[in-house]
A and B are shown apart, each in its own frame.
Chain A
Amino acid sequence: MILSNNPQLFIAMRHVLRGSLFALLIFTPLARGSVQPWAVTVIEMLTLFALTLFLTGRCLARQWQWIKTPLDKPIIVLLGVTLFSTAFSLHKQTSIQSFILLLNYLVLFYLVINTVRTRSQFRQLIYVIISVAVFLAVFGLFKNFGANPFPWWEYAELNYGDRLMSTFGCPNHLAGYMEMALPLLLSLFLLGFRPGITFILGYLTLLCAGHGTCS
């Protein structure tokens, strides 16, 4: 009774939940694009933590409303097909791991749908993605000029010539991230014209676009 009637607890839970989603958004590009097995496990742990928090909160608040999205039906079909192919896979262990990873992504999708609801929360999410993109762009420049202060982001075994990689292990992955971040950055121009802000946004857009091109 104490738990379910405590509004402070729910607010704190929502903050922690959003915080863990933002942590994931920051962690994934920084951990070499999260292509290595240990990074995938960290993603799964963070997702599990966020999911537990979400379900516990829903359970205590007695709120089980499902927010419908246009992607629900395609996702159900995709899950059905994947489950079918996993069941008849030649090597079940690999298929199950991939199925779990797909589930992980879907859980993240629905967690974002259910936890980022207001305009200001959306803006926070966009700011996080843009901040990471700007960090990647600035750090990428430092790294390319041979001034990388972080040895863990130095990949001596990889050789992509002059292509920018930043924290990623492959320039194409960095380009993909920039392609995702650029539209969000451009959308900020629509918020209104203020010379100083517009100049900064324009500068950041060029920086990210330049990185996307050079990677």
Chain B
Amino acid sequence: MMPPDNPQSPIPNPQSRYALCALLLLLSAFAMVHLSLRLMGQAHYHSAREVLRDGYFGLARAQLEKAEHEQPGDPAIHKALGRVYFELGALKPNAQGASGFARKSRESYTAAAAINPLDAQSAYGIARAEVRLEELYRYLHPENKDTPHNPAAHFEEAIRLRPNGILYRYANARYLHRKGRNHELLSSIRELARIYPPSYYYLRKEAFWSPTVKEACGEGLEAAVNENISPRSARMALSSMAAGDQQWPAAILLYKEALRYKAFDNRPGNYIHLGGLYLKNGQFIDARPCFFRALNMSRSRDREMARLYHLYRKQKQSDRFEQFYRDADRTLILPAGAEIILARTLMDLKQYNQAGRLLTELVHKRPDAAAYYWLARIAQAEKEWDAMELAIQKATVLEPENSRYHSLFSWALKRKKKFKRAAEEAALARKFKK
């Protein structure tokens, strides 16, 4: 069927129609060529990213240089190239070579920043390259006190472009610490803790963590609380800080306040932590409801019970834990493995007979490697070497890939002067040790 002739057509003349078609095709071909070139560049960029993930920086460099040739106006390619040069520089054994790559890295990031001056990543890339160039300059020219490099300006630029960029602020804080610019460091820490309260947990592991930095961090966290920025995290961090100073009442108060925010996010671990703070403050009665709440919420009560056991044990309150366990056993359904925790508590209280009876009942119901292990430990404490050997042997049979069981079995065999078997078990213990 031929299409109907449209008298309303704006282009009635056939020559004009053909000319318009030709123009359309020409424009389309032009755009298609442009897109094809872009696609080729992107294909190189894509394969570079794939090999970059596996750490093949040389291959990535070759692909990215081709991509850059196809698409010189793509800032993502320049940034990737900057990263590759930076990583290649780190692999160079000599300072001259490393310096060359650092310079190339800076140039690539600068090219990316020239195309997109609003990109914080490019500014951060320049800052990192400048830091390396500065370090290498000091190494290569120890006679010069001043360096021509200024990473601080680029760190500031990256932070200006992305004020809440945590990564940039961490890097800046480390740089300021290395440079000994303490006043700026404290101000940076204050701001970091204010905008992102969980940063406290990372900052306290940093080399620059000191009483003054801690104070600045605390000020930042208090500012976050006052400005209602991540109120839950800020209060938790402040509570952790107070707990670090053994100010238990303050830690408890702050943690209780924190749990009131986003209460739907509260997990068994949160209540165990709060109970733990009560325990440390000697408020044993107040700790119990928290622990019961945690056990009620928990899907793996044996795991939570083990955590509670360790908490009480650390506070040398095993007798209180025994009472807590028995109360929990009356009101909640505890998994079978939880009885081992009670047996361990009884062992801590030196009630070996009672613990042994409990574990024996348990293995009669269902053979369990962990129960046999603790039976062996009871036998060890009571110096019953035959019983110990028998129990730990059963544990190794039930769980043959547990290094700890083989290790204790080896000890028991050595005690009985069965050295050859002891050596074999020790070898197995080493083999299965993670």
Contact = CB atoms under 8 A, between A and B. Distances in A.
Nearest to A36: B46
B293 to A, nearest CB: 27
A32 B360 CA distance: 57
B9 interface: yes
A7 B2 contact: yes
Interface in B2-23: 2-6, 8-12, 14, 17-18, 20-21
Interface of B: 1-6, 8-12, 14, 17-18, 20-21, 24-25, 28, 31-32, 35-36, 38-39, 42-43, 45-46, 53, 73, 76, 115-118
B115 A93 contact: yes
Interface in A22-81: 36-38, 41-42, 44-45, 48-49, 51-52, 55-56, 59-65
Given A45-B32, A93-B115, 8 more contacts: A3-B18, A5-B2, A41-B38, A56-B25, A60-B17, A64-B6, A64-B8, A93-B73
B39 A45 contact: yes
A91 B35 contact: no
A60 B11 contact: no
Nearest to B14: A1
A7 B118 contact: no
Nearest to B15: A1
B88 to A, nearest CB: 21
**Most central of A6, A11, A52 by chain B CB within 10 Å:** A52
B35 A41 contact: yes
Given A4-B17, A10-B3, A93-B116, A38 B28 contact: no
A21 B387 CA distance: 78
A52 B24 contact: yes
A41 B38 CA distance: 7
A49 B73 CA distance: 24
A60 B46 contact: no
A56 B32 contact: no
A157 B39 contact: no
Given A41-B35, A44-B35, A91-B116, A63 B6 contact: yes
A32 B331 CA distance: 51
Nearest to B39: A41
Size range of the chain A interface in the assembly: 20 to 34
B46 A38 contact: yes
Contacts of A1: 14
A85 interface: no
A94 B116 contact: yes
A93 to B, nearest CB: 7
Contacts of B53: 156-157
Contacts of B3: 7, 10, 61-63
A42 B39 contact: yes
A90 interface: yes
Contacts of A4: 14, 17
Contacts of B118: 90-91
Nearest to B18: A3
**Most central of A11, A41, A60, A93 by chain B CB within 10 Å:** A41
Q: Which 8 pairs between the two chains have the least Cβ-Cβ distance?
A: A62-B9, A38-B42, A61-B3, A52-B28, A7-B2, A41-B39, A62-B6, A37-B42
B73 to A, nearest CB: 8
Contacts of B11: 59, 62
A59 B19 CA distance: 10
Given A48-B32, A52-B24, A64-B6, A59 B39 contact: no
A59 B22 CA distance: 10
B42 A41 contact: yes
Contacts of A38: 39, 42-43, 45-46
23 contacts: A3-B18, A5-B2, A7-B3, A10-B3, A36-B42, A37-B45, A38-B46, A41-B42, A44-B35, A45-B39, A48-B32, A48-B35, A49-B32, A52-B28, A55-B24, A59-B17, A61-B6, A62-B5, A62-B6, A62-B12, A64-B9, A91-B117, A93-B73
